[in-house]
Structure 1
Amino acid sequence: MNITERVSTPVKCRVHLHVHLEGSMRSSTLWDLRRQKNLPLPGNGALKDLEETLKINSPGDLAFCLEKFQWLLPALEGDLAAIERVAFEFVEDEAGGAVLYTEPRFSPRLLVGAGGQVTARQVTEAALRGLARGQQQFGVTARLLLCCIRGMPENYMDTLDICTEYRDKGVVGMDIAGDEAMAVPKDGDAASCIQSSAAELAVFQEAARRGIHRTVHAGEMGPAFMVQIALDKMHAERIGHGYHVLEDEELYRRCIKERVHFECCPSSSYHAGLVPLTQTKHPIQRFCEDGANFSANLDDTIIFQYSFEDEHTLLRRMGFTEANFASMNFNAAKACFLPEDEKKELLKTLLKAHGVPDVM
């Protein structure tokens, strides 16, 4: 059955490339899991207290946002049923957000648990089962990206091996996430960064050799040369966030020319302090004005607590139009990691959803 046959309504018209699976579980599910496992809950133990604790009430920094994961990961570690549940519910929520195709990402190694009672492969399989059930029930095509985590090089090759093993079973690529500051030495130049990031570079070079698709969190908090390293040394096909590329005009123009896709997350960029609220123009506005290749994504919905409608409301205030939203979806579809035949079907379905005659 192809993608067109699975989609029953043209309302599904969005393509979602940058979203973290564990960071997008429902707060009610997290609350339920923590109660089941007798894990501590904030305040009086009510759901609203947990939601308030997770919420970013004022802009912080990325490290502060990542600290919120201390509430998320213990609820899932070693629990294959919970991981499958979260993946299934994620697809249901994507359907509610008019998403046609989604590529959630997560690090299976982070969910193994201290006891090691399950393996990273079992964790991956649980997530894939949940996505597959959700896809069948809700008509959203879902594929998985596996994340390396900066500062955990011992897990890099295993993550790549799992990507390779499951490449035809629902895993379509890999990423590296985490605090970008860990990759930038104090002296801050590109040469020293390359030297200190040998493990990251090696695993992505091997991924390229194996034909595994690659996206890299780069230029998120780090300088523009992190984007250049991602492209030239890690062979990245897409860039997660990438806002600081604007600090290097020559590199930015190269990215426009080469149609490098930037997975932008406007709301999270403000909440995580990646883009100061005092900044007159958000980088995504510059990307739009210059005809760059980009999309708008939600990142971690349980932490930032917004939907696609919230995201689009923000973008409309920035001057974005419905035509811009459609363009972002087509850009995302073309940049997705589906095999070419499935990508072609996705693009046909998008054309239909947007009321455009099929000219492909």
Structure 2
Amino acid sequence: MVASTYEFLRSAPKVELHVHLDAAFDTSLLYEVARRDLSVLPEEEPAPWRDGTVRVREQVAACQNLDDFTRIVTMRAEDVVAGRLDRGCRGAGLACMLDCFAIFLPIVRGKKDVLEEMAYRFCRDQAQQNIIYTEVRYNPHILSKEKSSLPTPRSVTVAITAGLRRGMEEFGIDVKQILCCMNRNPEMSADIADLAIEFKGSGVVGVDVASGELHFDQADVRAAHVEACRRAKSAGLHVTIHAAEDGPGENFCCAVTKYFAERIGHGYRIHDSVLVDSELYQRAKATGAHIEACPTSSICTEAVCLPQVHPEKPILDSLDWSQHPIK
């Protein structure tokens, strides 16, 4: 039954509304570029989602093959579950997954040919899974680099748009773009609104606030993100916000009422409110906001904890999809 369900899900035509381009890079191309450019990779990269740094060149240099490399730039649900059991079911949370970004972002940052090819291969991979319509999101600032072939966020958006256009034409699918403001970087938000409005006719359909939820509680940061969302909305673009993933359920309602969100990325903490705050749950439900639920990645980030998942079984064998938090 599980195998037939999996084959059905893979072969059926699908729509994907929540996928990050930089979290869906082709690992074989990443590894090829990493080996080519190993000597110029940074020794360390700041981990902006937590205090500290991530050692980049050392980890990449230690990889003997693609399998080794894949392990340091990806996370599998089975690995997370095994790690939880090793730690006595104490989770590492979202930061563990985001550390992977600190390793692979320096590999592609500022490289026009690489980023355009990544966008093209993203279309190829979506087509192979029969995903006929996608809204893919990214932040162009973290992919740009001064004195490179992608010196500005705008140049990044141009390159990605070109790669997606080439892929759409070849594979016969439709891929739109969502530009992301970043949780701890309010200085980027006005630029995101400008770019989203400029590229509205070239495939950009909306804006997002990603990479965490601290902004909901920081008035000055929140104001910059809210203004970017307001401007995008006024220009006829759409708004989706990461909320109530690793933050409280109240963030769900705030994203809709203050940030103009029509869709919510994740939103799982609203499920907790059924028991602890039914009034909040009813308010969230009344908004009619669409929830972009991401079952497997949310096991990896441990936004959803499923103790019945066994580390020695394939993830689809272990999950009871009827028990997913969003029903």
Same fold (TM over 0.5): yes
Give the deviation of 1:253 after TM superposition. 2.9
**What SS does the aligned partner of 2:261 have?**
coil
Contact kept? 1:12, 1:100, Cα under 8 Å: no
| Residue from 250, 263, 269 that aligns with 2:292 | 263
Q: CA deviation at 1:42?
A: 4.6
Structure 1 match to 2:322: 319
In the TM superposition, residue 46 of structure 1 has moved relative to its aligned partner by 1.7
C-alpha distance 313-128 of structure 1, shift in aligned 2 (>3 A): farther
Q: How does 1:163-174 map to 2 (within 5 A)?
A: 163-174=196-207
Aligned to 1:353: none
User: How many percent of aligned residue pairs carry the same amino acid?
Assistant: 33
Which residue is 1:197 aligned to?
222
Match in the other structure for 1:52:
71
Measure the CA separation in 2 of the matches of 1:145 and 1:245. Answer: 24
Residue in structure 1 matched with residue 62 of structure 2 by the alignment = 43
Structure 2: how far apart are the matches of 1:244 and 1:231? Answer: 15
Residues 244 and 132 (structure 1 numbering): CA distance in 2 closer, same or farther, change over 3 Å? Answer: same
**What is aligned with 1:91?**
123
Q: Kindly state the Cα deviation for residue 196 of structure 1 after the two structures are TM-superposed.
A: 5.4
Cross-structure match for 2:278: 249
Q: Specify the alignment match of 1:128 in structure 2.
A: 161
Letter in 1 for 2:15: V
The one-letter amino acid paired with 2:116 is E
Aligned to 1:33: 33
Residues 55-64 or 208-217, more deviating: 55-64
Shift of residue 64, structure 1, vs aligned partner: 1.8
- Structure 2 distance, partners of 1:50, 1:44, is 5
Question: What per-residue deviation string (whole Å, max 9, x for no partner) do you get for residues 112-151 of structure 1?
Answer: 1254652111110111111111111111101111111111
* Pairwise CA distance, 1:270: 1.3
Question: Partner of 1:143: helix, strand, or coil?
Answer: strand
Distance 1:203 1:311 in 2: 38
Report the CA distance shift for 1:311/1:205 in structure 2 as closer, same or farther (over 3 A): farther
Q: Is the 8 Å Cα contact of residues 212 and 242 (structure 2) preserved in structure 1?
A: no
Question: Counterpart of 1:76 in structure 2: which amino acid?
Answer: V
Gaps of 5+ in 2: 1-10, 42-56, 81-90
- Root-mean-square deviation (CA, aligned residues, Å) is 2.6
Give the partner amino acid of 1:250: E
Mapped pair 1:226 → 2:251: yes
Matches within 5 A, 1:275-354: 275-278=304-307, 317-319=320-322
Matches within 5 A, 1:3-152: 13-38=13-38, 39=41, 40=57, 41-56=60-75, 57-58=79-80, 59-115=91-147, 118-152=151-185
How big is the shift at 1:62? 1.0
Cα distance in 2, alignment partners of residues 146 and 87 from structure 1: 14
Structure 1 CA distance for aligned equivalents of residues 181 and 148 of structure 2: 18
CA distance, structure 1, for counterparts of residue 12 and residue 154 of structure 2: 31
CA separation of 1:254/1:109 partners in 2, compared to 1, >3 Å: closer, same or farther?
Answer: same
Does the residue aligned with 2:265 lie in a helix, a strand or coil? strand
Q: 1:196 to 1:53 in 2, by over 3 A?
A: closer
Shift of 1:48: 1.1
Looking at structure 2, the residues matched to 172 and 75 of structure 1 have their Cα atoms a distance apart, in angstroms, of: 28
Alignment gaps of 5+ in structure 1: 1-10, 186-192, 282-309, 321-327, 329-360
Give the aligned partner of residue 238 of structure 1: 263
Letter in 1 for 2:267: G
Deviations 1:63-112 (A, max 9, x none): 22111101221121111111110000001000111101001100001111
Deviation per CA, 1:153-208: give whole Å up to 9, x if none. Answer: 1110001100000101111111110122x2255xxxxxxx5565222222212222
TM-score (norm 1): 0.70
How far apart are the structure 2 equivalents of 1:37 and 1:261? 42
Cα deviation digits, residues 262-300 of structure 1 (max 9, x gap): 00111111111212234x89xxxxxxxxxxxxxxxxxxx
Inter-partner Cα distance in structure 1 for 2:141 and 2:174: 24
Aligned residues: 275
1:158–1:53: structure 2 CA closer, same or farther, 3 Å change rule? Answer: same
